[in-house]
Structure 1
């Protein structure tokens, strides 16, 4: 590789010193176990993006209060500016598309900036965008302007999602080169867990703020934005990066897993030129497309497949149930969704940690092979009326969906090195944006085609399951084709040294940080308690709702 003497990563940062990357270089005695809680503080807040559906029904009667004031002939363009008609859930649901499109776009666009600016500045920018976007949305709800919600939470908030999501990736991988999967799994677990905390919290706040003239949503947005801002700022200020050349005591980099872990470094400008980047892009896109499609239909899928069987009335279709029975079935389906969310979160930590032992390529091979088998078997479980096997299959599938997100940063570090892994990961997240459109569209259109063909009951989703299995089969092939990079793609030692020169002055001997000096300290335990207690509350709340499945 040719030297990049004018590389943009060497440009000075015109910012206050406390915001600069240099100000975040850790001092001797710093405990590396303080970094994951900082990352979790940000991810738990932006993870509420998964829980925004809790607002849709209240917002659909923001004017009517007790019942929706509908305008049957209202177009989407009219819905954006109307002040006399209540919004439809479908109009509000576009927020999800905006979230994940702008998440991927901003992560790709700002990933290179993050690498030179550092995680603290990126975390603060994420807090301003995410919480500021919620404040703009609150004003949009108060004035009943849907376009302000789209702009606030969807566009500006979506940019905050992208910045917040990738802000800790490179830093964690550099702090935990010995446990890359576990480190990123801890943080990205928070993104999946944000809705477990945010959704019940939002429900409690809306209940407290609602009244004869308000459904309590705009007040809830403002309170949550303020709370999230405090948490996210604390996380951003808690970020530290290791000095150049630091490594854990007793650990030395060595090729492993049949050469699938490199000791070289690939420049950001070259990563996307390699076939390996696009193969891993396809791996993530296909894994996410299959999983995210299921998340979107989980509740109606269980209700329509098992119908009366869920409430002790086997042989009665969902459509034939009375209002009381349908309410019971809906509560059971909500428990199913909650259980899936728990496996989604747990899978992020479990599978990412397992990948440290199994290797990233092997872990993804398990995702695809086991996923294909479970999707293919799901129609048989449905036809046999085996609710337990059906639920178990999709819990495992969702654990691997979450595991795919948490494992991919370490996969990229193994193939491309750690120097630009945060920025490369940011560009790879365009696969998520793509999957966020492809997965739900494919699943919903296949289902509608089955409905139009008169298919009902346990056979309604058979075609969907087989199509998703086929998508995972393509992912299996893409993963199989991933190979170590050729030497031509790696930067020279001189180029790497030049890039690291900004942190060289602060370099210190190996082992002066983290568990090599004092272990899991009282300060680290306190930091973990700050994020761990809300997680435990969210898990308990969700588990309590999911227990209805087993009654």
Structure 2
């Protein structure tokens, strides 16, 4: 009973004078942990050489890159599905109980995955890191968003940037941590992967519990001191509310679904293969002996992308408070189309520095797209059930989690089968991703204000506790 009462929403309501700036660290504790998913590519080569012990010469029974890519896809699919399924439950029970569920599932996924690696049972890894861990990802991803939007009604873009920037930065911690732990444990276990999973699972569990214990929700009717709602006319920002069940019946929801899906498909395909991509594109063979990108340097590249993913989430979502959500997405897609189309040329000319710079800008906008979407939903559908609506929209991420790696792997393998290597083998990939951004650009162009017939009638609106 004591545990239940501690986890209950009523026990998380902040008292008078509570400092709302104490909430972002609680959100970051969750998102920096689950953001480790973006660093999964550093495990691909070691997990593909558990039997041979040589990443350059896998044994016949070692897991293939395609088999290992499924782990990440399962996790992303379950992220979106669990966010959609548990979104309304989260609004009802509050963020503390949801964060605890996330912590147990995410760390549990590591523990089960470690057993799968130890037994060399890929299906157990799929179930652990992919399925169970993916549920932890989904619940953890949405758990702070609605709470922060309610704490920061005067800065919704900044709020969602703070809520989600940690997820983009998770690989900045997770990538070097995983590499260091695998190196530490490699003498006691094949490639050091299984004990690394166990250690990271424990570290992330403790880290996420900090968020569980510190999260608070504002009292009903609370407003920041001196806050006066803007009277500036903006057709896309509603003063009404749409409930989650009605929101999915609107064209605006599905247009934003396409917007998010296209942005994520393009970016996630690169992220999922970030480490092997830069090693193959800028190898010793293409750059000259001793000049190619090493595994350690590739891990650093993954970490750098993670940093810009993080910074982009805060920068672009904060900028959207000034210039609006729709214009911000126009920048994401318009500039993104140009940069994706430019990457193959930079790779072919061995312009490593420019390749890294362009990749970082792409990832900043990719991350910005994630961080801006909750504020976009808040503008269109109100705050009443924005967390649940956001959860349902994340099924676009699930779809992208399958499409991105599939498209990248299919196109890359088809080019390799034609004898193409290095930069040439990835050329079609980036041109295809640029095409997906064109679709996203057109979908965003069509977004307009939600019709009044979808609004909840205030006299009969169901109460949702703050």
TM-score, with length taken from structure 1: 0.78
Q: What is the rounded CA distance, in whole Å, between the counterparts of 1:207 and 1:299 in structure 2? A: 17
Bigger shift: residues 33-42 or 19-28: 19-28
What residue in structure 2 maps to residue 149 of structure 1?
A: 125
The structure 1 residue matched to 2:182, chosen from 206, 219, 223, is: 206
What residue in structure 2 maps to residue 42 of structure 1?
A: 30
Aligned with 2:315: secondary structure? helix
Say yes or no: does 1:364 pair with 2:364: no
Q: Once the 2 structures are TM-superposed, how far is the Cα of residue 104 of structure 1 from its aligned partner?
A: 0.6
Q: What is the rounded CA distance, in whole Å, between the counterparts of 2:57 and 2:438 in structure 1? A: 47
The structure 2 residue matched to 1:230, chosen from 198, 202, 206, is: 206
Are the counterparts in 2 of residues 271 and 424 from structure 1 also a CA contact under 8 Å?
yes
Which residues in structure 2 correspond to 1:270-285 (within 5 Å)?
A: 270-285=246-261
Aligned with 1:120: secondary structure? helix
Which residues in structure 2 correspond to 1:264-275 (within 5 Å)?
A: 264-275=240-251
Q: Once the 2 structures are TM-superposed, how far is the Cα of residue 325 of structure 1 from its aligned partner?
A: 5.2
The structure 2 residue matched to 1:239, chosen from 200, 215, 221, is: 215
Q: Once the 2 structures are TM-superposed, how far is the Cα of residue 261 of structure 1 from its aligned partner?
A: 1.1
Q: What is the rounded CA distance, in whole Å, between the counterparts of 2:44 and 2:344 in structure 1? A: 31
Q: Once the 2 structures are TM-superposed, how far is the Cα of residue 443 of structure 1 from its aligned partner?
A: 2.8
Q: Once the 2 structures are TM-superposed, how far is the Cα of residue 447 of structure 1 from its aligned partner?
A: 3.1
Are the counterparts in 2 of residues 137 and 149 from structure 1 also a CA contact under 8 Å?
yes
The structure 2 residue matched to 1:124, chosen from 94, 100, 108, is: 100
What residue in structure 1 maps to residue 438 of structure 2?
A: 473
Q: Once the 2 structures are TM-superposed, how far is the Cα of residue 87 of structure 1 from its aligned partner?
A: 3.7
Please give the per-residue CA displacement for 1:181-231, whole angstroms capped at 9, x wherever unaligned.
111112211111112112222333333333355543333322222222222
What residue in structure 2 maps to residue 499 of structure 1?
A: 463
Bigger shift: residues 288-297 or 97-106: 288-297
TM-score, with length taken from structure 2: 0.91
The alpha-carbon distance between structure 1 residues 275 and 244, as it changes in their structure 2 partners (threshold 3 A), is same
Gaps of 5+ in 1: 1-12, 73-84, 309-315, 504-551
What residue in structure 1 maps to residue 365 of structure 2?
A: 400
Q: What is the rounded CA distance, in whole Å, between the counterparts of 2:384 and 2:224 in structure 1? A: 17
Q: Once the 2 structures are TM-superposed, how far is the Cα of residue 333 of structure 1 from its aligned partner?
A: 4.6
Q: Report how many aligned residue pairs link the two structures.
A: 466
Which residues in structure 2 correspond to 1:75-474 (within 5 Å)?
A: 86-211=62-187, 215-254=191-230, 256=232, 258-302=234-278, 305=281, 317=286, 324=290, 326=292, 328=293, 333-382=298-347, 385-455=350-420, 459-474=424-439
Q: Once the 2 structures are TM-superposed, how far is the Cα of residue 23 of structure 1 from its aligned partner?
A: 1.7
Are the counterparts in 1 of residues 78 and 134 from structure 2 also a CA contact under 8 Å?
yes
Bigger shift: residues 220-229 or 328-337: 328-337
Are the counterparts in 1 of residues 83 and 391 from structure 2 also a CA contact under 8 Å?
yes
Q: Once the 2 structures are TM-superposed, how far is the Cα of residue 250 of structure 1 from its aligned partner?
A: 1.8
Q: Once the 2 structures are TM-superposed, how far is the Cα of residue 26 of structure 1 from its aligned partner?
A: 1.1
Aligned with 1:293: secondary structure? helix
Q: Please, what is the CA RMSD of the aligned residues?
A: 2.7
Q: What is the rounded CA distance, in whole Å, between the counterparts of 1:305 and 1:70 in structure 2? A: 21
Decide which structure has the larger Cα Rg and report it: 1
Are the counterparts in 1 of residues 337 and 435 from structure 2 also a CA contact under 8 Å?
yes
The alpha-carbon distance between structure 1 residues 302 and 50, as it changes in their structure 2 partners (threshold 3 A), is closer
The alpha-carbon distance between structure 1 residues 101 and 256, as it changes in their structure 2 partners (threshold 3 A), is farther
Please give the per-residue CA displacement for 1:32-73, whole angstroms capped at 9, x wherever unaligned.
11111001101111111122333344444445557899663x
The alpha-carbon distance between structure 1 residues 225 and 257, as it changes in their structure 2 partners (threshold 3 A), is farther
Gaps of 5+ in 2: none
The alpha-carbon distance between structure 1 residues 165 and 128, as it changes in their structure 2 partners (threshold 3 A), is same
Q: What is the rounded CA distance, in whole Å, between the counterparts of 1:143 and 1:383 in structure 2? A: 42
Please give the per-residue CA displacement for 1:284-314, whole angstroms capped at 9, x wherever unaligned.
0111111112223445554555556xxxxxx
The alpha-carbon distance between structure 1 residues 441 and 214, as it changes in their structure 2 partners (threshold 3 A), is closer
